[in-house]
Amino acid sequence: MKCLIPGPNVKVLGRTIHALARFGDELYLESSPEAILLRTLNASESAYAMVKFNKVFFSYFNYNYFSAKDQEGLKCKISMKSALHAFKSPTHMDKQVENLEIRLDAESCKLIFIIKCKHGIVKTHFVSILDCKAMQAVYTKDLVHNRITSSQKILSEALGNFQSSDDQVNIEVNTESLILRNYVDSSMDLSKVIRTQISIKSAEFDTYVIGRETVITFTIKEFRALLAFAEALNLPLQLHFEVTGKPVVFIVHNNTTFEAHFVLATTKSDTPTQTSASQNSTITDRKRKEMGFNSNSVRKKPNLDVDVSKCLDEDSHLFDYIEMPIDIINAQNNDCSNKDISQSIIQENVDCDNIPPSPTSKMKIKTIFKRCFESTFDPRSIRGSVLAENSDSE
C-alpha cells in the first residue's frame, strides 16, 4: 500500500487519529480498491469507531503497491500511541505540512509515515505492525425507527451542563422533544447527587423522525469524543437508534470524502431513578405521606411497643446487676441522707443502689471545686494546716 495525502487533508487525518485514541488503544488499518478504513474498539467492547477515507481523499492512492498480483490490500494492527506520535499537533498541521506519505515496508513489517513540512523539513515515523488482521463490527443503521440529524453545536452546548463526574447519559425521545439526563444509579444517595435534565424541542434539529418513543443509556466519555470530532470538522451529527439494549450509531460524514461511524452500546436504564425532577418530587412527597411525615407538624418521640420493652427488660446483656456487700450499701445510704437540699434535688432521680456512671471530662472539672462554691461551705471545717491564707480583708 502507498498513498499521498495533501496538506489540508492531513489535518483531518490527525484529528481522526486523536478522536479514535479516546476510544481504543489499538488501531486497525485496512485498504481496499476504493478506500482506507481505520477502526478501533475500547477495552470493554462497548464502543466501536470506524472512519472510512474514500479514494478522492488522497492525491495518490494504490492499495497494493508492492504486489500487483495480490488483490487484497493491507490489513494490520498498530499501537494507538505510535500513531499519535506522528500527529502530535493536528490543529496546526495544515499550516506546517505540505503532504503526508503512508506506505508499507514489507521487509521490516513496518508502517512508515513520511511528513514533508515546509522549509524542506521531513519527519519519518516507523510504526511496528502488531498483527496482520482486520476487525469488523456488525450493526444496523438504515432499518431503524428513530433518526435524528443535529448540529454538533446544539448537543455540545447541552452536554456542557453535565458534571465531569457523570459516567453515563440518558436520551429520552418522543414526538415533541429530546431529553438529556445524567444517569444516576439506584444505589447512590439521591440527596448528594446533582441531577441534570435538558429538553430540546424537535424544531431545533435538522431532521427529527421518531418512530418509537424510547429511552437509551450510554457512556458519556465516548459521546464527548465524537462530539469534539464533529465540532472540529464543523459537520452535523446523525443519530440512528432503536430501543434500549441495541446499539446507537452516530455518523459524521463529508459527502464523498470520508465517513465516520461511532457505535455505542446501550444499557437498560433504571426507571425509578431516571425520571424527571418533577416526578421525583412527587414520589418523595407520596412516600413521606405514607410514612406519616409532615413538615408542619411537630415530630413526636417514638414510643416503644409493649413487647419490645419486655424484651429489653429481660435482656441480660443490656442490663447487668452487681451484688454488693451490705456494709457498703448502708454506707451509701448514710451518705445520701447527709446531702444538702440542693444536692438532693439534683440527684432525686438517681437510685443509690446503682453505681453512677463515670463522669466525663467536663463533669470532672466542675466537681473538683464544687464544695468551694456551696452557700453552706465553712472553711473552718477543713482539717489540716492552711498552706495559703486568704488575702482578702474581711
Sorted by where each begins, the domain ranges of the chain are 2-128, 146-287
The 10s digit of each residue's pLDDT in 169-205 is 999 999 999 999 988 877 777 777 788 899 999 999 9
155's grid cell: 448537543
Fold of 146-287: Proliferating Cell Nuclear Antigen (3.70.10)
User: Which pLDDT score, from 0 to 100, does residue 344 have?
Assistant: 44
Q: In terms of CATH architecture, what is 2-128?
A: Box (3.70)
User: Which pLDDT score, from 0 to 100, does residue 367 have?
Assistant: 56
For the chain, what is the radius of gyration of the CA atoms?
39
pLDDT above 50 (res 312)? no
Highest mean pLDDT among 267-276, 280-289, 306-315: 267-276
- For the ranges 26-30, 131-135, 345-349, which has the lowest average pLDDT? 345-349
> What is the percentage of the chain residues whose pLDDT exceeds 90?
40
The 10s digit of each residue's pLDDT in 255-271 is 889 999 999 999 865 54
H or E stretch at 251? strand 248-253
Exposure string over 55-92, b if 16+ CB within 10 A, otherwise e? eebbeebbbbbeeeeeeebbbbbbebebbbebbeebee
User: Which pLDDT score, from 0 to 100, does residue 205 have?
Assistant: 94
Per-residue pLDDT, averaged over 244-249, amounts to 90
User: Which pLDDT score, from 0 to 100, does residue 393 have?
Assistant: 58
Per-residue pLDDT, averaged over 116-128, amounts to 91
Highest mean pLDDT among 314-323, 349-358, 383-392: 383-392
User: Which pLDDT score, from 0 to 100, does residue 125 have?
Assistant: 92
More confident residue, 43 or 105: 43
Q: Decide whether 2-128 matches 146-287 in CATH topology.
A: yes
The whole-chain average pLDDT of the chain stands at: 76
User: Which pLDDT score, from 0 to 100, does residue 340 have?
Assistant: 46
More confident residue, 309 or 168: 168
Residue 99 CB burial class (10 angstroms; 0-12, 13-18, ≥19)? middle
Evaluate whether 362 touches 338 at the Cβ level (below 8 Å). Answer: no
The 10s digit of each residue's pLDDT in 345-362 is 444 444 545 555 544 444
Highest mean pLDDT among 8-12, 182-186, 386-390: 8-12
